[in-house]
């Protein structure tokens, strides 16, 4: 645990150093564009690329002129809503991915039949998928339940999240060596016992990276789906709304972008916590 804590501090230090370098490069780029005649490949004007202090000031601007609510408060509320939707999509996606991985591990026919479609599913662009999901979902009504845009966004997040898990878990479930499998069979272990006592523990080094990718994919899917479907209340919608005010309040749109980035950090942190809990009893050399 002490080694992990030390590694965590080193990673945090490198992260802060990277942020500092990014800030220096940002301001240096603007300075070069404003003081020299060197042609640059992107705009460096204050509307599209404001100074860092303008962006920081955007956190504390009123969300609406005359309002007591600051921009960061609105973004925090939107990020919280998006996080809940992303968590729902992540859970659904991980559940579907694990079921597909177990099915493909059990049957070579299922693997040969399903794996190409699992891979091909990720070639469909979200900008084309989102309106289709919303259009079909709006027609779903079961009793008192009426499908809403929230369910559509969650489904799109799950769509992106299931792929890394299905592929990573399949590889992990096949990780045990022939000697390990033969030992389990010598004890007359049934397939379910082999799955839970051998295959799943052996798949942890493959599952954790897959979970991290799935968490990031669920958050990206949520934000992009909110933008594509026009779902209100989330940080994706705020990015669109604040982008319209970029000329007068250029810092606001970056506050919303930072809110979306914070969701990614939270997702990575939650998966890291799962990693610590799942591997606490494994020897250090057995942890990826």
pLDDT in tens, 33-76: 777 777 766 677 777 778 888 888 888 887 777 677 788 888 88
Task: Give the residue with greater pLDDT, 124 vs 288.
Answer: 124
Give the per-residue pLDDT at 287: 42
pLDDT band at 255 (very low <50, low <70, confident <90, very high): confident
**Cβ(263)–Cβ(235) below 8 Å:** yes
**Region 263-279 average pLDDT:** 80
Q: Whole-prediction pTM value? A: 0.81
pLDDT band at 84 (very low <50, low <70, confident <90, very high): very high
pLDDT at residue 284 greater than cutoff 60? no
What is the DSSP secondary structure assignment for residue 142, as one 8-state letter?
E
Residues 278 and 195 in one domain: yes
CATH number for the domain spanning 114: value is: 1.10.3720.10
pLDDT band at 224 (very low <50, low <70, confident <90, very high): confident
Residues 184 and 250 in one domain: yes
Q: Is 238 helix (H, G, I), strand (E, B) or coil?
A: helix
**Region 174-192 average pLDDT:** 82
Residues 143 and 68 in one domain: yes
Q: How many CB atoms lie within 10 A of CB 172?
A: 24
Least confidently predicted of 30-44, 156-170, 241-255: 30-44
pLDDT band at 280 (very low <50, low <70, confident <90, very high): low
Residue 41 phi/psi, 5° resolution?
Answer: -75, -5
pLDDT at residue 166 greater than cutoff 70? yes
Please, what is the average pLDDT of the chain? 82
| Structural domain boundaries enclosing 8 | 1-44
Residues 31 and 162 in one domain: no
pLDDT band at 100 (very low <50, low <70, confident <90, very high): very high
Residues 258 and 173 in one domain: yes
Residues 229 and 102 in one domain: yes
**Region 180-185 average pLDDT:** 82
* Number of structural domains in the chain: 2
pLDDT at residue 24 greater than cutoff 70? yes
**Cβ(229)–Cβ(153) below 8 Å:** yes
Residues 50 and 74 in one domain: yes
**Region 23-36 average pLDDT:** 82
**Residue 200's closest CA among 164, 178, 168?**
168
Handedness of CA 192, 194, 195, 198 (dihedral sign): positive
Residues 155 and 205 in one domain: yes
Residues 20 and 68 in one domain: no
Greatest mean pLDDT among 38-52, 131-145, 260-274: 260-274
Residues 11 and 154 in one domain: no
Residues 70 and 157 in one domain: yes
Residues 56 and 21 in one domain: no
**Cβ(159)–Cβ(254) below 8 Å:** no
């Amino acid at each position: 645990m002490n080694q992990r804590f030390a590694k965590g501090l080193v990673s945090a230090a490198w992260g802060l150093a990277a942020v500092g370098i990014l800030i220096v490069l940002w301001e240096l780029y603007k300075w070069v564009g404003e003081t020299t005649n060197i042609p640059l490949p992107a705009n460096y004007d204050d509307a599209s690329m404001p100074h860092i202090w303008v962006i920081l000031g955007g956190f504390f601007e009123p969300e609406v002129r005359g309002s007591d609510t600051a921009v960061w408060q609105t973004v925090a509320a939107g990020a919280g809503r998006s996080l809940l939707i992303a968590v729902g999509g992540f859970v659904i996606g991980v559940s579907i991915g694990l079921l597909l991985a177990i099915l493909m591990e059990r049957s070579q026919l299922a693997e040969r039949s399903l794996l190409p479609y699992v891979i091909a599913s990720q070639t469909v662009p979200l900008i084309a998928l989102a309106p289709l999901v919303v259009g079909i979902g709006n027609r779903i009504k079961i009793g008192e339940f009426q499908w809403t845009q929230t369910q559509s966004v969650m489904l799109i997040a799950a769509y992106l999240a299931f792929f890394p898990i299905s592929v990573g878990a399949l590889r992990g479930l096949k990780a045990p060596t022939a000697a390990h499998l033969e030992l389990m069979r010598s004890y007359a272990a049934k397939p379910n016992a082999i799955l839970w006592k051998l295959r799943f523990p052996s798949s942890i080094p493959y599952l954790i990276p897959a979970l991290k990718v799935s968490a990031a994919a669920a958050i990206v899917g949520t934000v992009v789906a909110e933008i594509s479907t026009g779902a209100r209340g989330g940080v994706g919608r705020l990015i669109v709304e604040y982008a319209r005010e970029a000329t007068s309040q250029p810092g606001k749109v970056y506050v919303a972008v930072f809110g979306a980035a914070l969701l990614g950090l939270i997702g990575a942190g939650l998966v890291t916590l799962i990693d610590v809990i799942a591997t606490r009893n494994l020897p250090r050399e057995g942890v990826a």
